Structures are given as structure tokens and as C-alpha cells.
Structure 1
Amino acid sequence: MFDFAIDMDVITKNQFKSVTLPKKKITSKNNVKSSDNWLDKDQLQEFFSGLDKSYNGDDKELVSVYFRLLAFTGARKSELLSLTWSDIDLASSTISINKTITRGLDNKLFVSNTTKTQAGTRTLIIDENTITMLKRWRMLQRSVMFEYGFNIGAKSDQLVFSRFIDNSLINVMTPNHWLKKILTNTNLPTITIHGFRHTYATLAIEAGMNVKQLQKQLGHTDVKTTLDIYAAVTEKGQHESTELFSSYVGF
């Protein structure tokens, strides 16, 4: 506006050109610092114990499977909410991440057949316990949805997670509400849904996953994003690694 005023000969100098703006402190949503936005192994176990106290019945199964995938795959919340059963190959223990939920006209939710980034389209490997949970959930979902009047049978395009009442997409904010309810039944620090991606990354690194594997699993386009997480996690083990090296060399 002031540059335009100069062009119009209203003023001769833009005084704001000499103002130095303070650097903005970057924090994640809900005022949770990025460096604190994750759970260690014991805290993750406590989280699922809190989940058991917070939910029961069919809701408990849905929420349990959702957070299991969130914590054990590193997938984004919208990627999981857009999953259909055709994306999951239980025989080969894989999940295909190939779409996400977004908003269109009038703020209406719809499934976009593209992921957040090009690297976001990926195949995730899942563990045996997660496969068992998914198998149980698929059978229960068919039964529950039938009670609500939806005969989904073995439909491949059926959403893995959907609203029971109308079999539609779950709102992207709903997992935030699930999380808030669960945390009230624990002594855990406040984290965000995105914190489960950081949790996965942190625990995967501690378990020995290398940078390139982690980059592929998380769907990072730039390896620097993965390396930033990797450096932060491995820093705390630097002293132990130094002692191991010295012991190995032997002098």
C-alpha cells in the first residue's frame, strides 16, 4: 500500500522498509513444540491403555485400529481416513497410500486421488499384530454397518474408517477429538495427531531403521526433512555410541 502511495506521489518514502521484523517462533498447532510432539515407547503403551478406558464397544474398535495405524505406519491422518479395503493387502502385509481427504466447494469433504506430495504415494509394510487387528475390524465393520442398514459385504471400495450412521467420510477434525478424550485418561503430555508421525519416526530410528527407509515410509519428498528428525533423535544416543566405538576399537 505504501509503495503504491509513493507511485502516486502521495508520500516520498516508505518508512516501513527500515523496520526489522522479529523472527516468528515456529510451533506446531495447539501450542505444542515440535521437539516435544511425540511419545516414547512407554508413553505409547500408556496412550493405548488410556484409549481402552476412554472408549467401549464398536467405537473402541474403530478408534483403536485408527491409532494403531497412525502410530505403527507413520501415515498422515487424512491418508488413513481415505483408505479403502482395496488399498490393504492382508496377504502381503502392505497398505497402498494413494489418496487423501481434502475440502472442495462449500467446505465439503471429498477424496482426492493424489497424495500431499509425489513421494506421498507409497506402499507401507505392516506388522502381524496390525494385520490381526485389521482382519478383526473388517469382520466387525461388516456386522455393525449391516445393523445400520448398509450391506457392505466384501466391497473393495468400502472405506476402512467411516461414520456408522451414514457410511460417509469421517471429518478430518474427528481424530483430534478422539485424541483429546484419550489424553484426559492418561498422565501424558499434550501432543497433536501429527505427533504420531514423529512418534513413529523416533521409535523407528531407535529400532534401527535407516534414513532412506524412513524417508520412503513417511513419504518425504526431501530427505532433509527426514534427516532433521534423524539428527534430533540420534543426538541423545551420541554418548552411548561414543562409548561403543571406543570399546570396539579397544585402545
Structure 2
Amino acid sequence: MHVEPVWARTQLSAVSYSTVQAWTSELAQRRGAKVVRYAHGVLYGICEDAVRDSRLASNPCRGVKLPPIVKKPNVYLTGDQLHALARESGRYGSLVLLLGTAGLRWGEAAGLRVGDVDFLRRKILVHKNATGGSVESLKGGEHRTLAVAKYVVDELATTVAGKGRDELIWPSSTGGYLRPPATHDSWLSGAVARCQKTAAQSDPFPRVTAHDLRHTAASLAISNSANVKVVQRMLGHKSAAMTLDVYADLFDDDLVAVADKLDRSVGKLWAPGLGLDA
């Protein structure tokens, strides 16, 4: 979409640092930083292959200034807001509850089949990721098992009533894998708009995406005393450090709690006036 229309008919010898810089700068005026960096990476890889094939002396994409990626604050729903959104989401209500309490990625949820859910033990096996209309195994062939709240499992049971074990829980209108809802004009954006319309002025309903429901799951877990290792396993992060990097703001209250506990335990052993300044 961004590389081929501009560069497909350009001779390698005509690709220069200045032309690449001009292209990325123009693209940055129309698209976000992530898109610009991804498109630049594609062209960079092509030129790098040309260098290895001795068709270019050096990579003209090297050193090009790219727009910085500014991390947006995570958006979290409260439990009441999550339930309100689920009620407004119609047949996708159980999907909203699952995303907002178990923290699956969109593709992981879209790839779930009835047989992946153990309704008696309230567990879900996550081992597939549906993206771009197709499905693939998780990276490295890994999988994880999630425990799910009883009320969410009950809603899932209603959703899959009458379906076979191999059927998708939430198929698209054509029977394939459900794609992420668009920011505008989708069932999710419509549900969010209805929630915003009925929300009290003192507690406005935030604008949320499907990925924000994953953030919500992390927030609800941490507010219910889940430690970082539990949240890491739930979300499928590679390390606890990654979880802390993404959700450091959610652990601020833990820092205060630790300080308060130290005050009540170790602090009471402290004898004032010991002359620390001496």
C-alpha cells in the first residue's frame, strides 16, 4: 500500500537517502508513526538485499529520521462499565466479557472453537491465533490454559448452545474468522456509543477498542490482588518484565501498600532520636 506505489518502478541507482527521507516525511503527514516505520522497514529490507547482491554500495534507508512512536495511555474499564458494554454488544456480549476478564488477544479469541472450552472446569485452551482471515499456531507452538470466571463461562455456554465441538464460537457473517471491529461503524463502536449516551456525566464512558478490553482484564486482575506473574501468564507475555513495562501504572498502589506495611511492621521497631545526622 505504501512502498510499491512509490518505488516499484524506481531504479535502484535512483534510490537515495534524500528521496527516502522525503518519502517518509510525506507519509508521516498522512499516517501514524507505526505505519511509517513499518513501510520504511520494508523498503530498508529490499535495499539491504540489494547491498548483499552488490547492486547497491550502501543502504540509502540507513539513518533516515523516522517519527517517534508516542505510547498512548492505556484505557481501562471498570467492572460495571465492562458489563454495560457487554449488554450493549448483543450476540458478542460473551466475547466482550471474555476479552475483558481473561485478557485474550483478539486473534486468540477469534480462533476459539467450542472444543477449546472446558465448561465443567471453567478453563479455556488458547493455542490458535486468527489474523487476516486465517489461523495459525501461537509463536513457537506454545499454548496456555486460562481459568475463567463462572459467570463468563455461563455466558459462553449460552453462546455455543447447539454448536458442534469443531465450530467457531464467534464466526463472521460468512462463517470465517471474525476480524477485529473497526474504530467506526462496527458493532463495538456502536455499543460504546450507546454506553456513552447513557453514562452519567460524573462518570463518562471512555472510547475503547477491542485491545483496550485486554488492558481492562489486566486492570481487574491486579485490582483483585493478582501478582505480576499471574498477570503475565494470563496475558501470555514472555516475561514479567514485559508485563511491568506495559502496566507499571497499575502497580502504583502496590508501592504505597508496601510502604504502609513497612511502617506498621519494621517502622514500629524504629527508635527516634538515634542521631542519624551525627
TM-score (norm 2): 0.64
Q: Percent identity?
A: 23
- CA distance in 1 between counterparts of 2:118 and 2:183 reads 24
What's the counterpart of residue 48 of structure 1? 83
After superposition, the C-alpha distances for 1:190-218 in whole angstroms (9 at most, x for unaligned) are: 22211111111122122111222211111
Q: Provide structure 2 residue ranges, at least 5 long, that are not aligned to the other structure.
A: 1-14, 18-46, 52-60, 197-203, 269-278
- On the 8 A contact 1:97/1:121 being kept in 2, the answer is yes
Structure 2 counterpart of 1:69, from 92, 95, 98:
98
The one of 127, 151, 161 equivalent to 2:149 is: 127
Query: Is 1:178 paired with 2:198?
Result: no
Counterpart residue identity of residue 178, structure 1: W
Displacement of 1:120 after TM fit?
5.7
* Cα 1:228–1:46 shift into 2, 3 Å: same
Q: CA deviation at 1:66?
A: 0.4
The Cα offsets for residues 193-245 of structure 1, whole Å up to 9 and x where unpaired, read as 11111111122122111222211111112332112134321124433432232
Q: Distance in 2 between matches of 1:156 and 1:172?
A: 23
Structure 1 residues 118 and 199, CA gap change in structure 2 (3 angstroms): farther
Query: Do the aligned partners of 1:71 and 1:196 also contact (CA within 8 Å) in 2?
Result: yes
Q: How many residues align?
A: 206
Structure ID, larger Rg: 2
Aligned-residue CA RMSD (Å): 3.1
C-alpha separation in 1, matches of 2:183 and 2:120 = 28
Distance (Å, rounded) in 2 between the aligned partners of 1:22 and 1:159: 41
Report the counterpart of residue 80 of structure 1 in structure 2. Answer: 109
Output the CA distance in 2 between the equivalents of 1:118 and 1:175: 31
**Residue 99 of structure 2 contacts residue 214 of structure 2 at CA under 8 Å; is this kept in 1?**
yes
Q: State the distance in 2 between where 1:184 and 1:171 align.
A: 20
Structure 1: state its 5+ residue gaps.
8-15, 28-32, 104-108, 143-151
Supply the AA of the counterpart residue of 1:75: L
For 1:76, give the aligned amino acid. R
**Structure 1 residues 173 and 83 mapped into 2: Cα distance closer, same or farther (>3 Å)?**
same
The answer as to 2:207 corresponding to 1:190 is yes
Q: State the Cα distance separating 1:88 from its structure 2 match.
A: 0.6
